[in-house]
Structure 1
Amino acid sequence: MLRWRHGCTILLAALLAACGETTDAEDPAARADAARLDVMFSAQTRVWQDARRTELVAPDGWLSLIGLHRIELKSHFIGSGKTAGIRLTMGPEALGLLQSDAGTHAFTPERGVAVTLDGAPVRGRVSLQTDADAAPSVLGFDAGKGSLTLIERGGTTFVRARHEEAPTRRRFTGIEYWPTARNWRVEARFVPSAAGATLPIANILGMVEDTATPGTVAFERDGVGYRLQALDGGDGALFLIFADRTSGHGSYSAGRYLDAPAPGADGRLQLDFNRAYNPPCAFTAFATCPLPPDGNRLDLAIPAGEKTYIPATTV
């Protein structure tokens, strides 16, 4: 979750509290205050949007994905050659041999091919860790432009391939947003779940995993109450996966994500839907995005945040 300078956040919150979210149309001073708040709020939102773009287009960002390969055999040759069991779209024709057995994985590079493990040159057979381990391994290839990692989803292990020259990264067209609106930053209340509560979360691959849920976030819009079941966002923050009536009608059809701050001691927090963002699957076919749980499909249109991504059709 992107975090902002504490002082700036406090200043804006104080101004909002002093002036309120509505203004008297007949009061020039109130209109001027509202205009200043709009400018400040839009500026903060643009900072978030810029950081979001930087994260996406990073050499190892989501746009760099070039493959997702299920490990089905005990041995797989990896490379871009036609005979490779796990065939890469970029990189050397023969990269090496991946061996998997009883949850353990090892890699042996092809003779004469430069490969690194976590940045250090690989001289022979090396053991690999998955993203379920504390320190997942990263195999580098193609002079550091490409990488392979092992990820576990629904009891299945996959090879995830990245390359900084991925077509999705080179052709990135940018993100379109709805106009920033202060009234889409809403007050909300956090209701904790019972200890050990879980929520079935399906991913884009059709797998379902029971995932810990810290609680539910409740908010109102135009006098109607809505609730979103939250996932752990780390450091007390919340991660929300939701769909709304714009899903497939302006926003990404499979839903969007929203990072929310840690609730206060009284359970209060704010949800800024101007910062609702597309899951990685909106940009690449090689992600494993979690999808909104049934309770997070809102009968509400939220024309705020990121719109559907439209990729370029040519290089």
Structure 2
Amino acid sequence: MILCPCTDCGNGICRIRDDVEAHLLWRGFKPEYYNWTTHGETSFRNDIGSYSLNVDDVNDDMEGLLNYAFGFESITADEHEEINKPDADAAKFYKLISDSQQELFPGCKKFSKLDFLVRLLQLKCIDNWTQKSFNMLLDLLREAIEDIRLPKSYYETKKIIQDLGLSYKKYDACRNDCILYRGPYEFKNECDICNESRWVVEDRTSKDISSKKNKKVEGKVMWHFPLTSRLQRLFMSSKTASYMIWHKEDRIKDGCMRHPSDTPSWKHLDYQDTNFAADPRNVRLGLASDGFNPFGTMTSTHNT
């Protein structure tokens, strides 16, 4: 008999293994039961749960953030002047370093310009501010505080912050998911496969999208988040680099299956490609589905 971690039993009722398996298949796991402490798994290390979204408790290390983002050593704006013809990444780095050392307004010691903008964008994300409300707040701050160094709009704020990296690309897509409007399809107005219009309202008078006379609204847009730069960032940060090789250095190897590295498929890949397996920094990727419910047969959704 073991405790059943399904959504209904919630680790409060003991059942035989077959019943537990059936409950998990049909009802899913108890929410937020990630660390299986009632099934023999040890507690996570204390430092893993040390992150918080409480804005009041945030202690910004902007210099460290910039170093992680660009992989450069610490450098001041004055030292930048001694270096001739920096490359594109270095130029972005030095510009952000300058903003991180510039007072938000004369005499302000608590916030630099970059600190404050990052904090504002964090609040916008957490509390779902609209772009209009963000712009109104910027207007109010510039009106209330003399000589405050703030951009005029959300668009200008993003232009400053975007050099921190982790950018994304947007591609127009067929509403039936046939094609992306890029490459040979970049200037098409309709899908070659299903003939569906690219736009919400078709402008029949225009032959291609180079015309600027009428503003067109895309029927569907795909957001692409490049993976390589995001993986590189995980290795560049001292807070996450150790977790990237956790499966090799810190994993408990007692025969229990707690992590993908304990599974036969992981070990099979190690056997098939010994060169890949030799370096624990090589990243293994898997397909994930949010809210997966096969054929609508389950009473709850789960992530895979």
Q: Check whether TM > 0.5.
A: no
Larger strand proportion, structure 1 or 2? Answer: 1
Q: TM-score when scaled to structure 1?
A: 0.22
Structure of higher CA gyration radius: 2
Higher relative CO (Cα under 8 Å, sequence separation at least 6) belongs to 1
Q: TM-score when scaled to structure 2?
A: 0.23
